[in-house]
Amino acid sequence: MAFGDGERVPGLVEALRTARAATAPLSFVATVGGRVVGHVLLSAARLDAPRRIVDVLTLSPLGVAPELQGQGIGTRLVAHALAAADGQGMPLVFLEGSPHYYGTRGFEGAVAAGFRPPSLRIPEAAFQVARLSAYEPWMTGTFVYAEPFWALDCVGLRDPAA
C-alpha cells in the first residue's frame, strides 16, 4: 500500500463506505486467479467554489498487493475509477499522492489549476486533481474532505518532530 499510515486504511474505507453522502462511493477491485490484489475507492467530497458548493470525489485509498506492484494493476484501477466518475457526471477527482505516479494517470497539480487544499499539512506537489468532462472553468476554490478523513486524521502529513 502506498498510503501514509496503513493502519488507518481499513477504518477509513469502512467509514467512507457507510457515510451518508450526496454521492455514493465507487469501489473497485482487481483480481488475479480469484484473489483480490488491488483496490481503489472514490468517495464523496466537496469543492467550496465561489459560485456554489460542488459535489466532487476523492481517490483514496489505492492499494495493490506488494508482490504485484509495477505491473499496471494500479494504473488500470485508476483509469477505471476515473472513467466511472466521468460516466456519473462528476467534474473533478482530487487526491493526495505522488505527482510522479498520478501525473501520468490523468492528474495535475491542483494548486496550479486554481484549487486550494483543505489543510496546510498537504504538500503542494501531493495535492492533485483530475478534471473530467463535466468540469467547468468557474469550478475553482477550496477542496473539502468528507468527515471520515478528518475524524481518522487522514488529511495531510503530521510532523513527527512536533
CATH of the domain at 109: 3.40.630.30
pLDDT digits (tens, 9 = 90+) for 27-52: 999 999 999 999 999 999 999 999 99
Closest by CA position to 60, among listed 17, 20, 18 = 17
Whether residue 158 is predicted with pLDDT greater than 70 in this model: the reply is no
Whether residue 3 is predicted with pLDDT greater than 90 in this model: the reply is no
Let me know if residue 86 belongs to a domain.
Answer: yes
Let me know if residue 75 belongs to a domain.
Answer: yes
Q: Which residues does 82 contact at the CB level (< 8 Å), separation at least 6? A: 93, 106, 130, 132
Let me know if residue 52 belongs to a domain.
Answer: yes
* Helical H segments across the chain, by residue range: 9-18, 73-87, 99-102, 147-151
Let me know if residue 11 belongs to a domain.
Answer: yes
Range of the domain at 136: 6-151
Which of 40-49, 98-107, 139-148, 151-160 comes out lowest in average pLDDT?
A: 151-160
Let me know if residue 157 belongs to a domain.
Answer: no
3-state secondary structure of 39: strand
